[in-house]
Structure formats: structure tokens, C-alpha cells
Amino acid sequence: MRTVGVEEELLVVDATGHPVPKGPDALAVASRRGEGEDVQEHQQVEDGEAETPETAHLMPELKAQQLELGTPVCQSLEDVHRELRYWRDRADAVATAVGARVAALATSPVDVVPIPTEGERYGRLNEAFGQTAWDVLTCGCHVHVSVEDDDEGVAVLNRIRIWLPVLTAMTANSPFWQGRDTAYASFRSQVWHRWPSAGPNGPFADAADYHQLVEEVLATETVLDTGMVYFDARLSAKWPTVEVRTADVALRVEDAVTLAGVVRGLVETAARDARVGGEVPHMRPEVLRLAAWRAGRSGLSGDLVHPSSGRPVPAADVLGDLLDHIRPALADAGDERTVAGGLQALLTRGTGADLQRRVHRETGDLTAVVRAAVAATGGTEA
């Protein structure tokens, strides 16, 4: 059984629904409770990964209006659900202790001026990247799945890359930006691609080829360190995992669990294919970038670029083909019912972006959208 872990970034908001720079204060509470790192501790970790993969905790993020949580290593999707529920509750508890709440929103629906988190590395990042760093206040979800070694990891990266835009569509949860509807389901994904190292890759010849690319990226002195190698999927710099980074933070815990199950299924399916000498699927990075754009634009409400044909296909059909592709791996892990049900739920009730827009249509109030998101984050969605 491949293990899985999830990292989620959350917005810290006040009672009116506006993001507030109380993340560091909340983390100070968490640190005193033994539940997280304060900002000073975190500055010693360049890429934000936990010091030990078994230890779940709360962490700072680039902006003071954010908190990040990380689950421990999980064996089952039931474990993932329980840990995400627990750590979302702990994040909300420490935010409440300083007069705020947390919301699993990938962008702020209301107007906001992002406030940088203090610290040496964050300061260097803001100085180096200017407006790109100053503007960004986005929350993503990263899923880690275990691999045997870097060789298996790279074989997996080569085979899952064509499916990664579908994960953006599944988790789309950022239709609003600076107080207006962007016409995107995941505007976070558009903002994120402003970073120079973000986006899709071509296939790699082997693990050495992957590491050579990372060295060449670092040699340009454009990014600060390995923590800024923002590939859509990458080998973890610390742990024997593949890290998939294309998803918005999911509004509902159940959708985050579905994402984790899909990613584990993709990794296992890819590893099996590599073991039997299966051919690496072909899609140029330029086409993958277009597929990612379309996924962010329409989420599950329109066509997606199909990973096999490179042609537009209704999102429901793409999700069906995704499920068929990973079904044997899901069945062997005991995940088939959970993932199939989760994908059907997304098609039936919609994504977080769909819920946000529904609340806005009903109320005309973006702060009401945030309040609804706080409730959904805590599992009390109306």
C-alpha cells in the first residue's frame, strides 16, 4: 500500500469575511500548544515540509493572512479524512483564539491587500519577484504519495503529467479575485503560473535527467532554492514521495479525500505501467499548458482537453475515463468506492467554485460567500 499525505493552505478571515494578517499570531498559539511551528522556526525550513513526515502540524505561508496544515503519513483514505478534519479544526481553533476563522478558499472573494509574512526567506522572495510575490494570496493543496526511489518517481512523473490538469478542474475553488468574478473556476491556477518555475514539464529520460533539470533551474539563479522548483509535480526534496501540486485547496474535506485517492491511484497505475515497460504517453508541454488553462477556465462545467487525444471532451467523460484508468489500482487499495463516489459527487453538486457562485447569486454578497466557506471548511455546510 502506497502511503499518502496532504498539505492544505487556508485563508485566515475575520467575522466580516475579510482576510486578516493573524496567521502568525494563530501559529504562536499553535506553537505553545505543540501543534505547529511559529514563523521563526519555519524560516529554518526552506520548502515548508515537516521536519519528520510522521508529524502533522500547522505552518506559516507566504502571506500573513494564511495558515498551512500538513497531515501525517496516512495508510488509508479514511486516515486522510480523519486527519484533514482534525487539522482543519485545530487551525480554526488557533485562529479563533486570536479573533479569526479559517476558510478553505483558493483565493479571497473580497478585496484584499496581501500582507507578507515576516522572515528572511519571505523577504528575499518578495524582493526578488516584486509584483508577482506581492499580489499572490492563493491557497493550494499538495498531495504526496510514496515511491520506492527516484527512478520509480520519475517513471511516475512521466506518466501522470497528462492527467494533472484534470486535478485542477476537480478542485476548482477560486472564481473570485479582488472583489469580482473572474470568469474562471480556478483563477488561483492562473495566478500561480506567474512564477517562473511553475507549470508542466516534458518527460525525463531517467532520475539523473530530472535532477539535471533541477540543477539547471537553480543555476540560472532565478529561483531562490529547491523549495521554489514549482513544477506541477515533482520529487520531494526530503522524502521518498511524488508531490502533485496542481490543485486548488478543496472547500470540502470530502473533495480533498477524493483528490488524494485519485493521486494515489494515478501514481500506482503509472508505477505498474513502468514495471511492465509501458510506453510513456506523449503530450507536449505546450499542449499541457493549454490543457491546464482550460481546466482553470471552466472547471467541470465545460470541456477539458482529453489526456489521450488532446481534443476537447466533456468534463464528465474525462472523469469517467480517469476512473477507468486508475480503477484496478483503486480496487487493490480499497479506494474504488470512495473515489468513484467522490467523483460522482463533484459532477452532481459541483466544485467549490460552483458553491461560491451559487451563494453569490443568492445573496449578491461576497462576504456571505466567505462565511459559507468557513462553514463548509468546518464540515457544517448548509
pLDDT 10s digits, 36-87: 776 555 554 444 444 444 556 899 999 999 999 999 999 999 999 999 999 9
Q: Looking at residue 36, what is its pLDDT? A: 79
Domains, the chain, in order of start with CATH, read: 4-377 (3.30.590.20)
Say how far apart CA 197 and CA 213 lie, in whole Å.
11
* Structure letter (DSSP) for residue 140: E
Q: Are 187 and 352 contacting, i.e. CB atoms less than 8 angstroms apart? A: no
Q: Looking at residue 381, what is its pLDDT? A: 75
- Picking from 307, 126, 309, the residue whose alpha carbon sits closest to that of residue 228 is 126
| In 303-375, beta strands by DSSP E | 303-305, 312-314
Q: Looking at residue 57, what is its pLDDT? A: 87
Say how far apart CA 168 and CA 200 lie, in whole Å.
13
Q: Looking at residue 41, what is its pLDDT? A: 56
Q: Are 65 and 137 contacting, i.e. CB atoms less than 8 angstroms apart? A: yes
Q: Looking at residue 331, what is its pLDDT? A: 98
Q: Find cell 523549495 and name the residue.
A: 227
Q: Which residues of the chain have pLDDT under 70?
A: 38-56, 382
Q: Looking at residue 280, what is its pLDDT? A: 97
CB atoms within 10 A of CB 361: 8
Say how far apart CA 73 and CA 53 lie, in whole Å.
6
pLDDT in tens, 11-42: 999 999 999 999 999 999 999 988 877 655 55
Q: Looking at residue 380, what is its pLDDT? A: 86
Q: Looking at residue 382, what is its pLDDT? A: 56
For 106, the grid coordinates are 483558493
Q: Looking at residue 195, what is its pLDDT? A: 97
